[in-house]
Structure formats: structure tokens, C-alpha cells
Amino acid sequence: MNAGVTQAATIGVIGDVHLFWDEADIAFFNRGGYDLLLFVGDLAGYTQVRGLRLARSLRKLDVPAMCIPGNHDGLHAFQLGAEIAPRAHRFRDAFCRGQARRCHSLDRALGHVDMVAYSRRRVVPGGVPLNIVVGRPHSIGGRRLACIRYLRGAFGVRSMEDSAVLLKSLVDQCDDAPILFLAHNGPSGLGDRASSIWGCDFRRKEEDWGDRDLEEAIRHARDSGRRVLATVAGHMHRRTKSGKLRPGQVQKDGTLYVNAAEVPRHRKVNGTKRRHHVRLTVTNDGASAQDCWV
Ligand SMILES: [Fe+2]
């Protein structure tokens, strides 16, 4: 490495895909220019069959890639409904049966694309040493943990408190390199309006819909003297139910927060199909993000 030359990692952050992915996306990322791709989850729509087909197509990527499962990944439609609809909550536990098997199928379908959850990866994209701390999988946001039966069996997580403890232990495993958090839903603490970066837009009462365990882990990292360059997530679609737009990024306390969930990520612009992702540039000192429609 030349002294005085700042190394920079170029990371592609792909928001909630929800089946909007095709050969042109593969070709674009395989043309070069990216050191790492981070999928924030929700590859699938409402059926696992199509989600698995999409996951298999990601194997054609030549770029190193990671994917955290969202609340649409590894859940069948009834399970997803039970997690979301208040009246169906009593079926949550029963429909959660078999989720470990469904997640295993997703992992196999993804091939070399690294399916990650509650983990820490040490990487050096573009020559920049980074700790990637991966948050709670299948998050639906808010105060309640989704897929609790699965989280208990797979990770020993029984509560939001357990989840925060586990995430903090991952932070403690990091070395001196800066940290980048990858999660499905973003952290709490960034606004309680419907159009906040992770605010609740589907209830009458506006509130913070971010993940409290993730906020605690980020604070713990900072309090223990670590540099948290960025946190990337999605889940709360940028266009809210009332048609307002959330910010796609926010800076707070020296950390860049990116919500990459432009849904649908394929759109026609002047008759031409465009594809969304966020281009995240990371150096040892900081991170910047740019929305790209290609
Ligand atoms: Fe989601």
C-alpha cells in the first residue's frame, strides 16, 4: 500500500428486493466496481418457492456478498400473516415450526452468498479492514421479536434483552478495525414520526419502529471506544403509506445510517427500466452513501 493513499471500499447495498431482480442486475454487479455486496433481506415476496428461485440466481454473482434474512425470508405466507396481523398472533408459535428447515433451504439456495445473522465477519473490501456485525434476522421492527420460536432454537434468544446481549457480545469480539452494522430493520433512536428513517407509518399512532437491541449494540460499540462507520438496513419502505418519503440516510454521532429499501427497486423512468441500489463508500475514517438508479 502506498503511504498517503487513502484506501476506499466500494460496497453495494441492495434494499428489500421483494423479487425485483433479474439477469441485468447480475450483469451490472459482475461488470466490476464493487468490492462487496450487502443484501439487507426480504428477497422474497409471499411465497418461499419464488424466494428460493431468486436466491439461487444470486449464485451467479462474482462479487463477495452477504445477505441477512428479512421477515419475508424463510417464512411462509401463513407465518408471515400471523406475525403481522394482531388477531392471528395466537398462531405465531405453530406456524414458526419448520422455520429452521426453511432457513437451511434458503442458505443452500444462496450458495456462496453468505447468509448471515447474529454474526461478525472480518473483511477487507478494497483494502479497508472492517468488522461487519450482523443483527437479528427476520426483524419486523417495533417492540416485539418476530419468529421467537426460531430465534430461541437457533440462537438461544428469548427476548429483546437476550438479543441485545448477544449483539453486544459480537461487538466485543471485534478487533481494532471500524465497525459496519448490517441489519434487516434499522435501530431505534432515529425518529418517532411516520416518515422518520425507521418510523411506523402503518398505525394511527406515529412511533419509532426501529430495533432497540440494535440501538443498544451500536451505543455499546461507541461507548467501548469503537468507530461505528455505518449501519445499513431496510425493511421500512422509503415511501410511506401516506405517500411521504423517508430520508434514505441520516448522520448521527459520527455514524451514517442507510435505509436502502426503495420498493419496488425496479422502476420505469422515461420508458427505460432502472434498478436501485446504494453505493456505500467506506474509508478508515468515514462512510458516504449515494443512491444509484442504473
Ligand atoms: Fe421486511
* pLDDT 10s digits, 160-211: 999 999 999 999 999 999 999 999 999 999 999 999 999 999 999 999 999 9
Query: What is the per-residue pLDDT for 2?
Result: 52
Longest dimension (CA), the chain: 61
90 backbone dihedrals φ, ψ, rounded to 5°: -65, -15
Give the 3-state secondary structure of residue 61.
coil
Angle at 210 between CA 11 and CA 253, to 5 degrees: 65
CATH of 9-293, picked from 2.60.120.1440, 3.20.20.10, 3.30.160.270, 3.60.21.10, is: 3.60.21.10
Angle at 75 between CA 114 and CA 164, to 5 degrees: 65
Q: Where are the domains of the chain?
A: 9-293
139 CA to centre of ligand 1 in angstroms: 7
Contact (CB, 8 A) for 27 and 294: no
Neighbours of ion ligand 1 (CB under 5 A): 42, 70-71, 235
137 CA to centre of ligand 1 in angstroms: 10
C-alpha cell at 97: 415450526
Q: How far apart are CA 124 and CA 256, in angstroms?
A: 19
Query: What is the per-residue pLDDT for 4?
Result: 62
Give the burial string for 204-225 (b: 16+ CB within 10 Å, else e).
Answer: eeebbbbbbbbbbbbbbbbeee
Query: What is the per-residue pLDDT for 90?
Result: 85
Q: Using the structure block, give the residue that is written with the C-alpha cell 462507520.
A: 229
Instruction: Render pLDDT for 11-20 as a digit per residue (tens, 0 to 9).
Output: 999 999 999 9
177 CA to centre of ligand 1 in angstroms: 29
44 CA to centre of ligand 1 in angstroms: 10
43 CA to centre of ligand 1 in angstroms: 9
From edge to edge, which strands make up the β-sheet containing 119-123?
119-123, 130-134, 179-185, 228-234, 255-259, 249-252
Q: Measuring CA to CA, how many Å separate 207 from each of 94, 159, 201? A: 29, 21, 8
Contact (CB, 8 A) for 163 and 133: no
Q: Does residue 264 have a cis peptide bond before it, meaning omega lies within 30 degrees of 0?
A: yes
* Among candidate residues 104, 95, 54, the one with its CA nearest the CA of residue 75: 95
Using DSSP, how many helices (H) and how many strands (E) does the chain show? Answer: 8, 13
pTM: 0.97
Q: How far apart are CA 131 and CA 110, in angstroms?
A: 22
Residues of the chain with pLDDT under 70: 1-4
Amino acid (1-letter code) at residue 66:
M
30 CA to centre of ligand 1 in angstroms: 26
Angle at 269 between CA 193 and CA 73, to 5 degrees: 55
Find the length of the chain: 294
74 CA to centre of ligand 1 in angstroms: 12
41 CA to centre of ligand 1 in angstroms: 7
265 CA to centre of ligand 1 in angstroms: 14
